[in-house]
Amino acid sequence: MGEILVVVEHRQEEVRDITFEMLFKAGELCKEFSHTLTAVVLGGKEEQFIDEVAKRSDNVIYYEDDRLKNFSADLYKEVLNGLIEKTRPFITLIGHSSWGMELAPSLSIKTGYPLATDCVDILIEDGHPKVIRQIYSGKVFSKMSFKESDGYLITVRPGSFQPPEAIDERNGGVIKKDLPGDLPEMRKEFIEFIDSGAGDVDITQADLLVSVGRGIGEAENVEDMKELAERMGGVLACSRPVVDKNWLPKYYQVGTSGKSVKPKVYLAFGISGAFQHLAGITGAGTVIAINKDKKAPIFRVADYGVVDDLFKVADALKEQLKEG
C-alpha cells in the first residue's frame, strides 16, 4: 500500500476548485488500489478551510505558518521536498495552474522524481502510474509512462475531473507541523497578490455558458448575445477570435489559451470548434452547437446541433423566454 499526496491550492483563504478535482481522482485511485490519500496544506495560522479538505482525505498534513499564507514557490518547494524525503509517497499531485507550473518543475529537480505535466487523466497499471496527456495542441490523447522511480510527480489540468456534489466523506485527521528550522534563505519575497485575470465575470464557475465565436460577425452583436445569456440565467463567454478582435476581454475566453470550463450546459453560437477551443470544454455537461456550417468541427463533440443562422436561433430563444 502506498500514499498519494495532494498539494492543496488555496488563494485568499479559499480552496481552489482544482484541489477538489485532484482529491476526487486521488480518492478513486486510493479506493481501487488500497492507497492512502493525504492532503498537504501549506497555509497561514488557523486556515478556515482545513475541515473542508479533511472531509475528502484520509489524512491532512498542515504546515501552519503565516509565511505560508501566500504562495511562494521557493518556500513551498523546500517544505514539500522535506516531506517527500521522509514519507516517500507513491504519487504527488499538483494543479497545473500558475502555482503548479512554477512549483512542480523545481520540485522535480529537487526530489529527483520524474514529472508529467498538464495531465487530463491518471491510471495505475501493473503497479505503475501512467498519465493521459493531450499532444499536438489537443488533437491527440496520448498515454504516457514514467521511468522507474521511488515516486512520481503529476500536474493535473483544471476541469479534467468532475467531483460529484455528494461525496463519500473520509473525515481524515489533521496533523499540524511547524516549518523546518533548517530552511535556506529565500531568494524571493511575497509582496502583494493581484489577480490579473479577474473581471466582472468568472466563466469557470457558471452552470450555463452562452459562448460566441467569429460567427457573430461584428462587435455590436456581442451585447445582444450577452442579453440572451442574462435572460437564460447564464454567463457570456467566447472563443479566441472574439478576444483577438477586442470585442470581449481575455477573461471571457474559453480554450487552451483562455480558461477550461465545466458548465452543466454550454451553448456555442458561431464557434467553428478549433481544437484549442474544444480542449477548454472537455468538462462541460451538455454541449449545444449552433452554426450554419454543417461541417464545423464543433458538431463532432456537441450533444445537440442546430444548423442554422445563429441570430435566428438567438431571437427564437429570446421570444420563448419573453413568453415564459
DSSP string across 57-94: -SEEEEEE-GGGSS--HHHHHHHHHHHHHHH--SEEEE
Clarify whether residues 109 and 237 are in a common domain.
no
Interior angle at CA 143, CA 138 and CA 149, nearest 5: 125
Clarify whether residues 216 and 262 are in a common domain.
yes
What is the enclosing helix (H) or strand (E) of 268?
strand 265-269
Query: pLDDT at position 313, please?
Result: 95
Residue 38 has pLDDT above 70, yes or no: yes
Clarify whether residues 159 and 33 are in a common domain.
yes
Query: pLDDT at position 184, please?
Result: 83
Q: In this structure, what is the dihedral angle of CA atoms 43, 49, 53, 59, given to the nearest 10 degrees?
A: 60
pLDDT tens-digit profile of 52-85? 999 999 999 999 998 999 899 999 999 999 999 9
% of the chain at pLDDT higher than 70 = 96
Clarify whether residues 169 and 208 are in a common domain.
no
pLDDT tens-digit profile of 279-303? 889 889 999 999 999 999 999 999 9
pLDDT tens-digit profile of 168-206? 788 889 999 988 888 888 887 777 776 655 567 789 889
- Position 90: which residue type? F
Query: pLDDT at position 198, please?
Result: 55
Clarify whether residues 27 and 84 are in a common domain.
yes
pLDDT range class, residue 140, cuts 50, 70, 90: confident
* Pair 268, 302: CB distance under 8 Å: yes
CATH number of the CATH domain containing 24: 3.40.50.620
Q: Among residues 75, 70, 66, 110, which one has the least CA distance to residue 92?
A: 110
pLDDT range class, residue 314, cuts 50, 70, 90: very high
Clarify whether residues 34 and 119 are in a common domain.
yes
Residue that has been written with the C-alpha cell 512542480 in this structure? 104
Clarify whether residues 154 and 230 are in a common domain.
no
Clarify whether residues 246 and 160 are in a common domain.
no
Clarify whether residues 131 and 228 are in a common domain.
no
Domain count, the chain: 2
CATH number of the CATH domain containing 210: 3.40.50.1220
pLDDT tens-digit profile of 213-243? 999 999 999 999 999 999 999 999 999 999 9
Residues spanned by the domain of 233: 203-323
Mean pLDDT of 137-149: 88
